[in-house]
């Protein structure tokens, strides 16, 4: 069984798992969702690339930028980042704050999986996902 198939197998018992047409595995965890895929880097070196969407369409302002920067600095398991974009109509029209921009917040983590047992791989992935869920709670409550 290859690593991509193994990811789906080891997570199915603990999280809702969707196997995507392109081979990626999508999981849902504590009001977030994440895509996991394998990336071959060199002979014998394959990385697991995890991208977790923590929050989306947040009104973009200085407070949000500062909060995300603080989490980016303090988070050990993954990189927290902010992706600015044009605000959806309801935000631009003045939902909570008058903002013409919005942002999605993501957590990314890439790691080599060679030598990890199924239990170790599952535990590491769950630790990263839990970190992302903590950041989400800090951002949106």
pLDDT at site 23: 87
30 token code pair: 């504590």
CB burial class (10 A; 0-12, 13-18, 19+) of residue 106? buried
Q: What is the pLDDT of residue 112?
A: 95
Each residue's pLDDT tens digit in the chain (141 positions)?
799 999 999 999 899 999 999 989 999 999 999 999 999 999 889 999 999 999 999 999 999 999 999 999 999 999 999 999 988 765 545 555 555 899 999 999 999 998 899 999 999 999 999 999 999 999 998
Would you state the pLDDT for residue 100?
82
* CA–CA distance, 27 with 126 (Å, rounded to integer): 11
CA 15 → CA 18, 87, 129, 131, 137, distances in Å? 10, 31, 11, 16, 19
* Distance, CA of 47 to CA of 37 (rounded, Å): 8
Domain residue extents for the chain: 3-57+78-84+104-140
In words, the CATH class of domain 3-57+78-84+104-140 is alpha beta
Whole-prediction pTM value? 0.88
Cα distance between residue 141 and residue 21, in whole Å: 33
Contacting residues for 133 by C-beta, under 8 A, at least 6 apart: 29, 30, 31, 32, 54
């Amino acid at each position: 069984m290859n690593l991509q198939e193994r990811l789906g197998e080891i997570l199915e018992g603990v999280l809702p798992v969707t196997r995507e047409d392109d081979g990626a595995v999508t999981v849902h965890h504590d009001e977030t969702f994440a895509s996991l895929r394998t990336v071959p880097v060199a002979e014998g070196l394959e990385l697991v690339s995890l991208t977790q969407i923590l929050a989306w369409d947040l009104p973009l302002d200085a407070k949000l930028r500062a909060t995300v920067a603080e989490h980016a600095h303090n988070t050990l398991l993954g990189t927290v980042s902010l992706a600015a974009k044009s605000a959806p109509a309801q935000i631009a029209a003045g939902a909570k704050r008058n903002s013409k921009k919005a942002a999605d917040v993501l957590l990314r983590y890439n790691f080599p999986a060679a030598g990890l047992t199924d239990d170790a791989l599952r535990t590491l992935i769950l630790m990263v996902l839990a970190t992302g869920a903590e950041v989400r709670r800090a951002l949106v409550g």
